[in-house]
């Protein structure tokens, strides 16, 4: 079968398309014929050897997927050949078939196509965990989302709106902000042309911003924190800008606010039942059209490099998806 292969830590151009043996389901595993793979910013870090997970070479990138069950190993109950499923795999999904533990799979409703389903798990899973389980976002609160047109960003905009928050989308271009508005943002800040701190202070008024969702980091983190409300929650989601910010703790003291870490992948392993409950809500909302699962573009498996370059160059709004 065909697979996108990372044979050494390197750049996107070092990825290869190769032939590898078909997988066989071990006990407790299912072999899925992959239909579509969702790519994420962190795939660019994994192939460069700069992420928390450092898989042995050769491996395939691609951490989330949708497809059809082909076969099941011993001890697997609840999945039969031909069923449509989606799931989270950390890495390894950018190939035609994948053997994966059955308890990592979620069944797909008929209304959801493979491409949209492939991109739902990580972005909406992370943003829902962040807003619901970490921030305890309440209806009527204000929520500022940085990198609001990206994968986790647009998911946070849509979920924040669905949870009844007033959503302020922050991004680097007017096109990206118009996109975020179409997906439910109430107000916008272009942080490439306006001062983020002043703009958020104005939009937050005297009260300030209740919840700040930050997958970007760099200089934006402190600028955003300065606008936070008394007892606000600042969610540390990622560092797409490259620099890991250091926040002055006097601001945390003066606002009596919380800086809360968000490590969704680890939480899914520590709290599998809560993760499943969140995913089942997300899948239902997506099937009902309440969450868009917006796809920026679909690329053939052989063009995984082009897709990852679009992500690295900040060109993708929503998800980049591979069709296997
Ligand atoms: N904590 C968790 O559990 C978790 C889970 C998933 C992802 N993440 C992290 O969340 C971050 C975003 O992931 P994603 O998949 O949503 O990425 P994405 O779709 O590529 O979006 C990232 C956004 O960050 C902004 N950005 C600012 N500087 C950038 C730069 N130098 N390069 C690329 N983007 C830049 C871009 O928006 P503007 O152009 O508008 O600035 C872009 O839309 C990553 O750091 C990822 O590792 C964390």
Full DSSP string of 63-108: -EEEEEEEEE-TT--S--TT-EEEEE-SS--SBSEEEEEGGGEEEP
Ligand 1 pocket member 241 (CB < 6 A): yes
Q: In DSSP terms, which residues pair with 261 in a beta bridge?
A: 236
Distance, first Cα to last Cα, the chain: 11
* 97 beta partners: 33
pLDDT, position 23: 98
CA 82 distance to own-chain centroid:
27
Say if residue 73 is exposed, middle or buried (CB neighbours under 10 Å; 0-12, 13-18, 19+): middle
Cβ–ligand 1 contact at 149 (below 6 Å): yes
Q: What is the mean pLDDT of residues 90-106?
A: 96
Crossing angle for the helix pair 272-287 and 121-128, to the nearest 10 degrees: 110
Question: pTM of the full predicted structure?
Answer: 0.97
Calculate mean pLDDT across residues 89-118: 96
Q: pLDDT tier at 203 (50, 70, 90 boundaries)?
A: very high
Quote the pLDDT of residue 258.
98
285 confidence band (pLDDT: 50, 70, 90): very high
Mean pLDDT (the chain) is 97
Q: Is the CB of 134 under 6 A from ligand 1?
A: no
The mean per-residue pLDDT over the stretch 27-48 comes to: 97
Quick one: pLDDT band at residue 98, thresholds 50, 70, 90? very high
Please report the pLDDT score of residue 53 as a whole number.
Answer: 86
Cβ atoms within 10 Å of 17's Cβ, excluding its own: 16
Ligand 1 pocket test: which of 53, 130, 150 has the largest number of ligand atoms within 8 Å of its C-beta?
150
Q: Which of 152, 172, 188 to mutate to test the pocket of ligand 1 (most atoms within 8 A of CB)?
A: 152
Q: Is the pLDDT at 253 greater than 90, yes or no?
A: yes
Average confidence (pLDDT) over 251-262:
98
Give the separation between CA 109 and CA 314, rounded to whole angstroms: 31
C-beta 154 within 6 A of ligand 1: no
84 pLDDT above the threshold of 90: yes
């Amino acid at each position: 079968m065909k697979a996108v292969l990372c044979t050494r830590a390197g750049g996107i151009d070092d990825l290869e398309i190769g032939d590898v043996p078909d997988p066989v389901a071990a006990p407790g595993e299912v072999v899925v014929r992959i239909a579509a793979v969702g790519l994420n910013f962190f795939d660019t870090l994994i192939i460069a050897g700069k992420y928390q997970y450092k898989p042995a070479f050769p491996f395939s990138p691609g951490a989330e997927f949708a497809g059809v069950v082909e076969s099941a190993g011993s001890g697997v109950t609840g999945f039969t050949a031909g069923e449509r499923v989606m799931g989270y795999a950390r890495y390894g999904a950018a190939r035609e078939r994948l053997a994966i533990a059955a308890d990592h799979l979620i069944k797909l409703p008929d209304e959801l196509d493979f491409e949209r389903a492939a991109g739902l798990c990580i972005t909406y899973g992370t943003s829902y965990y962040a807003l619901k389980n970490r921030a305890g976002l309440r209806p009527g609160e204000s929520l500022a989302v940085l990198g609001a047109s990206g994968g986790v960003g647009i998911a946070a905009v849509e979920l924040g709106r669905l949870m009844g928050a007033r959503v302020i989308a922050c991004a680097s271009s007017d096109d990206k902000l118009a996109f975020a508005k179409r997906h439910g943002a109430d107000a916008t800040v272009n942080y490439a042309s306006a001062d983020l701190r002043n703009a958020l202070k104005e939009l937050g008024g005297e009260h300030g911003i209740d919840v700040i969702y930050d997958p970007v980091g760099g200089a934006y983190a402190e600028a955003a924190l300065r606008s936070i409300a008394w007892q606000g929650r600042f969610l540390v989601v990622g560092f797409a800008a490259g620099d890991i910010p250091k926040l002055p703790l006097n601001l945390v003291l003066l606002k009596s606010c919380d800086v809360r870490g968000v490590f969704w992948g680890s939480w899914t392993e520590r709290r599998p039942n809560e993760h499943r409950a969140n995913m089942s809500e997300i899948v239902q909302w997506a099937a009902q059209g309440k969450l868009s699962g917006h796809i920026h573009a679909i690329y053939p498996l052989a063009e995984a490099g082009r897709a990852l370059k679009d992500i690295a160059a900040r060109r993708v709004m929503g998800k980049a998806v591979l069709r296997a």
